[in-house]
Amino acid sequence: MAQKQIQALTIAGHDSDGSAGMPADLHTFYARGVYGMGLVTANVAGNSKGIFAQQLMPIDFIQKQFDVLNDDDYNIGASKTGMLANKEIIDVVAKNLKEYKMKNIVLDPVIITKHGATLLADDAYQAFLDELLPLATIITPNFYEAQKLTGLELKNEDEIKRGAQMLQNMGARNVLLKGHHDGTSTEVRDYLLLEDSSDEWLSKPYFKTDRVNGTGDTLSAVIAAELAKGTDLKQAVHIAKDFTYEALSHPIDIGSTYGPINHLAAQKIMTERNE
């Protein structure tokens, strides 16, 4: 008899170089021992030097992907979102997450890049706030996304805590605010606020590298994989933080500029450590 396998879904864009988006999510699911499915929202033509073109999927095709993955063929234990691009895509994704009662939703906003570039038009941003944010089991914005979502500068601990509370008030059950860092940083501190109002700071040494593509995708994908397994959310976040740090701090030579992080090293180290 075939072994039953835990399943997770990524709803995201496909980056052709394999470093970010859906490929990073699927690398992560595999590394965490979870069978990964991919519902593609866009195809992105990019390499380590940049993104050069993208092709958004037709709405009826996105809808059909939801239908065929929710026809009693599969048992999706968690879902995470990535690149959603515009209001129409956000609308269809939010509608289906609700209609199919999809559980353990990890919302990786993909609103602003780590370099501060805006990725969503104004109407899409408002749809994100109104339709997607209230569905989130946990939201995982980067520093710039958290600034945009809260309207705060997030320059000190009190502001960061207030920003996380604002996101809870906007509908997210749990919030992980990823910390700001630059070339002078010595550590990266993230702030976790849980729905029972407990909170904590998570810290790792800052590792300077240009092998950073897919960092945010990987962090949120680990959380989704662990939630699919039934891991407690707080522990899932700790595992995600550890896994992502190991993937960052063991760089691989792929790409000439901003390369991918190392999922294989993270998988091996976490297994040997027995977590």
213 DSSP 8-state letter: B
Distance CA(80)–CA(154), nearest Å, equals: 25
pTM, to two decimals: 0.96
Exposure string for 206-219, b = 16+ CB within 10 A, e = fewer: bbeeebbbbbbbbb
pLDDT digits (tens, 9 = 90+) for 12-33: 999 999 999 999 999 999 999 9
* Domain 7-273 grouped into CATH 3.40.1190.20: yes
Distance CA(67)–CA(110), nearest Å, equals: 24
pLDDT digits (tens, 9 = 90+) for 214-271: 999 999 999 999 999 999 999 999 999 999 999 999 999 999 889 999 999 999 999 9
Query: What's the pLDDT at 3?
Result: 80
**pLDDT by position in tens, the chain (length 275):** 788 899 999 999 999 999 999 999 999 999 999 999 999 999 999 888 888 888 999 999 999 999 999 988 899 999 999 999 999 999 999 999 999 999 999 999 988 766 566 778 888 999 999 999 999 999 999 999 999 999 999 999 999 999 999 999 999 999 999 999 887 889 999 999 999 999 999 999 999 999 999 999 999 999 999 999 999 999 999 999 999 999 999 999 999 889 999 999 999 999 998 75
Q: Are 32 and 231 in contact (CB under 8 A)?
A: no
Contacts of 37 (CB under 8 A, 6+ apart): 7, 8, 9, 10, 69, 74, 76
Query: What's the pLDDT at 275?
Result: 57
The residue ranges of every structural domain in the chain are: 7-273
Report the residue count for the chain.
275
Contacts of 230 (CB under 8 A, 6+ apart): 77
β-pair type (174-177, 199-205):
unpaired
| Encoded tokens for 10 | 């990524």
- Nearest to 148, CA basis, from 169, 117, 171: 117
